[in-house]
Chains A and B, each alone.
Chain A
Amino acid sequence: KQEVTQIPAALSVPEGENLVLNCSFTDSAIYNLQWFRQDPGKGLTSLLLIQSSQREQTSGRLNASLDKSSGRSTLYIAASQPGDSATYLCAVTGGGSEKLVFGKGMKLTVNP
C-alpha cells in the first residue's frame, strides 16, 4: 500500500529564505507526483505535476524534483514571501491505480 510522508508537519521561517519541502513515498511504481497548495478554508490548487519519466518541473519561484528510485521529491521555494504561507501537500498516482495518495501536508508560515 502506497504511503506518502511529509516531514516536518509545520515550518515557520522569515521572509526571503530559500525553502526545501520534502516528500517521500513507499512504492516507487508511480505514474506521477503532484504538489498542491491549500489556503485555510479553501480547496487545493495544483502547483506542479511531475511525470514519472521526468526529473523536475519549474514554475516561477517553484522547482520540484523527483527521484523515483529513492522514493523522494522536493519542492524548492526561492526567496519566500508571506504570500507563500499555506499548507503544501504532496500526492502520487501509481500502482495501476487512478487514485491519488496524499501526504498529510506541511503548514508553512513565512513571517514578514
Chain B
Amino acid sequence: NAGVTQTPKFRILKIGQSMTLQCTQDMNHNYMYWYRQDPGMGLKLIYYSVGAGITDKGEVPNGYNVSRSTTEDFPLRLELAAPSQTSVYFCASTPRGRDSQETQYFGPGTRLLVL
C-alpha cells in the first residue's frame, strides 16, 4: 500500500489564483481529513469526511472547499488564494472515527506559498 499520497509537494500561487490539492489513500479508509500547519503551530482541521458523499467543516474552513466523490480521493480546493493561506497542508485518513483503535495516517504534506 502507498498509504496517503498528496500532490503537489510544493506550489507557489499568486494572490487570487485557484488550485486543487490532491489527496488519495489506498487503504479503503472511510474517514479523511485536511489540516493546515502554520510555523510553530499545531495542526488545525479544515474539513473532514466520514465517507463518500459526506463532508463537514472543521475549525478553519473559510476560503476552502472539498468534495468526496470516491472513498479514495479527497481533494481540497482553494478558489481565491490569499497570503493567509500560506501554510503546509496535510491530508490524513483513518478506518473509523473516534471509536477506532487505529490512528490517523498522514500524507507527506503540500507546502503552499501565496505571494
Q: How large is the interface on B (under 10, 10 to 19, 20 to 34, 35 or more residues)?
A: 20 to 34
> Which residue of chain A has the shortest Cβ distance to B56 in the bound complex?
A98
Q: Which residues from chain A contact B105 at a C-beta distance below 8 Å?
A: 46
Q: Is B42 within 8 A of A104, CB to CB?
A: yes
Q: Is the CB of B106 within 8 A of A98?
A: no
| A81 CB-CB contact with B under 8 Å | no
User: Is B90 on the interface with A (CB-CB < 8 A)?
Assistant: yes
Query: Judging by beta carbons under 8 Å apart, are B104 and A100 in contact?
Result: yes
Distance in Å: Cβ of B77 to nearest Cβ of chain A? 20
Of the four ranges (under 10, 10 to 19, 20 to 34, 35 or more), the interface on chain A belongs to 20 to 34
Complex contact A105–B42 (CB within 8 A): yes
Q: Which residues of A contact B40 (CB under 8 A)?
A: 9, 104
- The answer to whether B42 and A98 have CB atoms under 8 Å apart is no
Q: Which residues of A contact B103 (CB under 8 A)?
A: 34, 46, 49
With a cutoff of 8 Å between Cβ atoms, the chain B residues found around residue A102 in the complex are 42-44
B45-69 toward A: CB 8 Å interface, digit per residue (1/0)?
Answer: 1001010000000110000000000
Closest 5 CB pairs of A and B: A102-B42, A46-B103, A43-B106, A31-B98, A44-B106
14 extra A-B contacts, CB within 8 A, seeds A44-B104, A100-B104: A31-B99, A41-B109, A42-B109, A43-B4, A43-B107, A44-B106, A45-B106, A46-B103, A49-B102, A91-B43, A97-B98, A100-B33, A104-B40, A104-B42
Residues of A with Cβ closer than 8 Å to B? 4, 9, 31-32, 34, 36, 41-46, 49, 51, 89, 91, 93-94, 97-100, 102-105
